[in-house]
A and B are shown apart, each in its own frame.
Chain A
Amino acid sequence: MASARPKRYALAIELTSYCNQKCGYCYNDFRDDGGKSVGALPTEQLLALVDKALTEVEFDHVTLTGGEPFARQDIFDVMDVVKKHGAGVQIISNGGLITEAIAKRLAPYKPSFVQVTLDGATKEQHEAHVGEGHYDKTLRGISLLKMHGVTVCGCIVISRKNAKDVGEILDQFRRLGVKSVALSRLSPSGYAAAQVAELLPSRSDMIVALEQAEARGRDHKMDLQVTMPMPPCVIEHKDFPNVRFGGCPIGTEMQEFALGPKGELRNCTLHADVIGYGEGESFAALVEAPMVMQYRDTTPEFCAPCPHKHSCLGGCGASGVAVLGKGNPLDPFVAQHVDDAFRAQLKAARKGEAPIIPANRLRRASV
């Protein structure tokens, strides 16, 4: 019976593992070889899988992502399937492949927004994060989308390289007519786990970034949300009333599952562990699998006494697993300050003495 379908908030569909950019902070495992080893599902299989997912689970909306979702020409066919089910669509893109024709074709689909990331207010700074030759293309993509009436939402991946420049990046977004921006505090998972020493912002870095964001939220009415957990033991959320904060939604009705480029369902885009494959199993059963339902039952040891542990979970578990390994690791954002061994590792790596080999690399090497 259709009404008995479980309801969930969102499904992030990773349309392809290919991406035209080479971001140091990429949370995808498949960034390592540009997605070659993973590839993407053929059109027919992808459309059938999306149709099956939306038939079996009532998702409020899907998020089309990748890799770079506009690298797939059949993105519009996927949107047709999603629309048929009455679910909303939003898109995460680097903007670099958006042409006039794509922007024009996209407009009637009325996606809630296309989220485009800028990591620097200047070409040099942005490209220091994503690779050379992309800044102008991204700006052009934003302009084309806006020109055709597509809502653009911004994103800044806040790293230790750009935390002090968040205000200027927000000003740049404002000049481009983008007032809603996701502040994505770097969560090192996938490829980025190996860049943790270079990129992970400290608590102090984030406070500098948040102070600049708070001023823009207050003075320019920008709509700003931190999209990665900022645990209450690290940051006093009340100090930044014009910035919204959230927590990890896994295991709640607000969870955004990830449907990966091999058709695998995962707990979120940053988690690499597979819940199951929708082709052979029921999505309705998968979204209620123990890996989902029991996710919030265990928390890091550091959090044992904390009253927030069941809401905060010790931050982003995906980055904890990627960098520090299985068990109940603390988010590296917190662990960098309170886990002595990890703290020492970071120090050594930053002095160039010994690189950090994250747990996800060690795991892959041992397979």
Chain B
Amino acid sequence: MSEDETKRDDEHDDSEDRAVIIERRRLLVASALASVAMSAQACDQVKRVIGIADPQPCLSPPVRPNVCLAYMPPQPEPVPQVCLSPRMVEPQSCLSVAPTNPPTPFADSDGGVVGTDLTGGAQPCLSAVDPRRRSRTTTREVPTPMVCLSARAPQPDRGSGDIVNPFKSVDDKLDDES
């Protein structure tokens, strides 16, 4: 190696390259999750992945565009998951999907409970709580996504529909690394 190159190495610190790569990966994950939440096709794929053969229509109102709490990290206790992606608004229909369930607290995308008093009359989509899977959310070892299991009004498919496993302690991992 020439003297010049050795000198360059002493001077060159790749921490910016490193930071950019980690941050870009985080953004790639985030944007993919947003598009998954927006995509009816992707939603169907998730449902198939977790074994829901006959999803119910989900017509709950938009609360926070592009955020689907289905993709929140696994919680220590079962927390009802709410699909917050923009959809056709029909709260009654949504509740009628799960008539026996009372409205349940919403959870924030990073896991905090934000309460039930949501503006805009948003109704939690209780169909997302799949009792067969509920117990599994108590362990971080076997993270299982709680997704909106119901069929939604078709949205423009903005994602590839390529379902990744964003639930595998992704946020833990990204937090550790950044």
Please tell me the size bucket of the interface on A: 20 to 34
- B168: A residues at CB distance < 8 A: 304-305
Instruction: Say which one of A51-59, A197-205, A271-279, A320-328 lies at the interface with B.
Output: A197-205
Question: Is B55 interfacial (CB-CB < 8 Å)?
Answer: no
Question: Is B50 interfacial (CB-CB < 8 Å)?
Answer: no
Q: Type the 1/0 row for B1-25, where 1 means its CB is closer than 8 Å to any CB of A.
A: 1000110011010101110111011
Question: Is A233 interfacial (CB-CB < 8 Å)?
Answer: yes
Question: Is A338 interfacial (CB-CB < 8 Å)?
Answer: yes
Asked if A305 and B1 make an inter-chain contact with CB atoms under 8 angstroms apart, the answer reads: no
- A198: B residues at CB distance < 8 A: 1, 5
Question: Is B142 interfacial (CB-CB < 8 Å)?
Answer: no
Give chain B's interface secondary structure class: helix
- A309: B residues at CB distance < 8 A: 164
Indicate which residue in A306, A337, A343, A350 contacts B6 across the interface (CB closer than 8 Å): A350
Asked if B173 and A337 make an inter-chain contact with CB atoms under 8 angstroms apart, the answer reads: no
Question: Is B165 interfacial (CB-CB < 8 Å)?
Answer: yes
Indicate which residue in A161, A202, A232 contacts B17 across the interface (CB closer than 8 Å): A202
Please tell me the size bucket of the interface on B: 20 to 34
Q: Type the 1/0 row for A25-46, where 1 means its CB is closer than 8 Å to any CB of B.
A: 0000000000000000000000
The total number of A-B Cβ pairs within 8 Å is 77
Bound-complex Cα distance A77 to B67 (A): 62
- B170: A residues at CB distance < 8 A: 304-305
Could you tell me the distance in whole angstroms from the C-beta of A207 to the nearest C-beta in chain B? 9
Could you tell me the distance in whole angstroms from the C-beta of A253 to the nearest C-beta in chain B? 18
Question: Is B126 interfacial (CB-CB < 8 Å)?
Answer: no
Asked if A352 and B6 make an inter-chain contact with CB atoms under 8 angstroms apart, the answer reads: yes
Asked if A350 and B1 make an inter-chain contact with CB atoms under 8 angstroms apart, the answer reads: yes
Bound-complex Cα distance A338 to B21 (A): 8
Query: 18 additional contacts, CB 8 Å, given A203-B14, A232-B28, A307-B160?
Result: A197-B1, A202-B14, A233-B25, A234-B20, A234-B21, A234-B24, A304-B168, A305-B29, A305-B164, A305-B166, A305-B170, A305-B173, A305-B174, A337-B18, A338-B18, A350-B1, A350-B6, A352-B6
- Give me the 5 closest cross-chain CB pairs, A-B, nearest first: A307-B32, A305-B170, A203-B17, A350-B9, A233-B25
Q: Which residues of A contact B (CB under 8 A)?
A: 160-161, 197-198, 202-204, 232-234, 236, 302, 304-311, 334, 336-338, 343, 347, 350-352
